Amino acid sequence: MTNYPLAYSEDVLNKSVDRYTDKEFPAYRFIPGLHPHPVNSPEGHSYGLDEEEISKWNSDDWRLNEDYLYGIDLYNYHFYWEAHEAWEGLWLASVKRSSEHMFIQGLIKMGAALLKIRMASYQIQDLIGAQTLSKSGMELMSKVGLSKFMGLDIESYLKFYSDYINPIFDDKIPKIDQKTPRLILDF
């Protein structure tokens, strides 16, 4: 596979927190407009892979939930689109408006906002999407109703994320680097 820009050449993004799974990362971090679509393009890093359907899951068993933990790893290493894909089955299988549903959807939206920040470096109008997604994601996370859920200290993370994301509301693009918010789980 081609070595696309913003893939393994991004050394600063390849240094992160400890991983929660041993699952291999994709060949590149998908950025719309820069890379082939991971699923739809024959050159995509996940083209032709079968998606496993998730029927039911229990948030109390989060330590054993490979999809959840792999999504955390992807998010922490700036694979935001891919983290969304890892979590989507969990979100779809959760009861609407439940703590699980709001939590996973909040993670997905907050990650999508970070992806939009990456995209804003190329097209500034993506900051509008980042503003909307970050607000919506933080609101969902704050509605989970617990200060700690699925190993994440929600209150601390929301504070960290909010402090990081705040410049986008003044049309400033924060730098995606090792100071970008990471999801640290309490095992």
Residue with more model confidence, 44 or 69: 69
Residue at 178 is within a domain? no
Query: Collapsing DSSP states into helix, strand and coil, what is residue 167?
Result: helix
Predicted local confidence at residue 125, as pLDDT:
85
Evaluate if pTM is beyond 0.95: no
Q: Looking at the domain assignment, is residue 185 inside a domain?
A: no
In this structure, is residue 187 part of a structural domain? no
Average of per-residue pLDDT across 100-116 = 97
Q: Is the pLDDT of residue 27 over 90?
A: no
Residue 1 pLDDT class (50, 70, 90 cuts): very low
Examine residue 186 and state whether it is found in any structural domain, yes or no: no
Mean pLDDT over the full length of the chain: 89
Alpha-helix residue ranges (DSSP H) falling in the chain: 66-76, 80-93, 99-120, 126-142, 154-165
Contact 83, 71 (CB under 8 A): yes
Which residues fall within 8 angstroms of residue 92, CB to CB, at 6 or more apart? Answer: 54
Do the domain assignments include residue 3?
A: no
Backbone angles phi, psi at 148, to 5 degrees: -130, 130
> What CATH number is associated with residue 164?
1.10.3450.10
User: Which residues, other chains included, contact 117 with Cβ-Cβ below 8 Å and sequence gap of 6+?
Assistant: 126, 127, 130, 165, 168, 173, 174, 176
Identify the domain containing residue 125 by its residue range: 11-47+56-170
Q: Is 34 part of any domain?
A: yes
Task: Report the percent of the chain where pLDDT is more than 90.
Answer: 66
183 domain residue, yes or no: no
Q: Is 60 contained in some domain?
A: yes
Provide the domain count of the chain: 1
